[in-house]
Amino acid sequence: MSKSARARTQRNRDGQEPKIHLGELDNHLGYFVRRLQHWIFRDVNAALAPLALDVILYSILETIAANQGAAQIAIAGRLGIERARMVALLDELQQAGLIVRERSEQDRRAHALGLTPRGRMILKKANVAVAAHEKRVARRLGADNYRRARAALAQFETD
């Protein structure tokens, strides 16, 4: 190993950690997206924890609310959740008394999903918590950056 390389394993003179550079990663949107996503994920989950929800359960509740009577596979497909995994997530929401699964009259293979009164009440509280989280994201990112990022990313459509 070169002398300069060896030097980087040491602490600096002032006792600080040596600064780690990112190389090409600094030019890749994917790195920044992953870093932001990680922070957002933890912050929003902390915000939802008092309601016994996480961001996935919340997203399912909100999507059911916006599409009363939709089938499991439709909600799962829109949110990018495997239908096999959806089963356990809906079991959880149902056991918590937040949703109902009724057999669809049009297609008796399908379950028509809906919120219970309690589900609507919890969702309302969740939306308050998530709005507060969203403000933290905006403050953290800076108001202008937040607006620009949201505008830019909102136009991305998955296959």
Partner DNA sequence: TATTGTTATACTCTATAACTATA
Partner DNA sequence: TATAGTTATAGAGTATAACAATA
Q: How far apart are CA 42 and CA 45, in angstroms?
A: 5
Q: Is 78 in the site for a second copy (CB under 8 A)?
A: yes
67 is in the binding site of which of DNA, a second copy, none (Cβ under 5 to 8 A by kind)? a second copy
Question: Cα 68 vs. chain centroid, distance in angstroms?
Answer: 22
Q: Is 48 in the site for DNA (CB under 7 A)?
A: no
Q: How far apart are CA 36 and CA 141, in angstroms?
A: 9
Binding residue for a second copy, selected from 50, 85, 97, 107, defined by CB under 8 A: 107
Q: How far apart are CA 73 and CA 87, in angstroms?
A: 10
Q: Is 63 in the site for a second copy (CB under 8 A)?
A: yes
Binding residue for a second copy, selected from 81, 101, 116, 146, defined by CB under 8 A: 146
Q: Token digits for 92?
A: 């959880």
Sign of CA dihedral 90, 91, 93, 98: positive
- Largest pairwise CA distance in the chain: 75
Q: What size, in residues, is the chain?
A: 159
Q: How far apart are CA 1 and CA 79, in angstroms?
A: 49
Binding to DNA, residues 65-124 (CB under 7 A): 71-73, 76, 81-87, 90-91, 101, 107-111
Binding residue for a second copy, selected from 54, 74, 96, 116, defined by CB under 8 A: 74
Closest to a second copy by CB, 95 vs 155, is 155
Closest to DNA by CB, 78 vs 148, is 78
Q: Is 136 in the site for DNA (CB under 7 A)?
A: no
Closest to a second copy by CB, 1 vs 84, is 1
112: number of Cβ within 10 Å = 17
Contacts with DNA, residue ranges (CB under 7 A): 54, 56, 71-73, 76, 81-87, 90-91, 101, 107-111
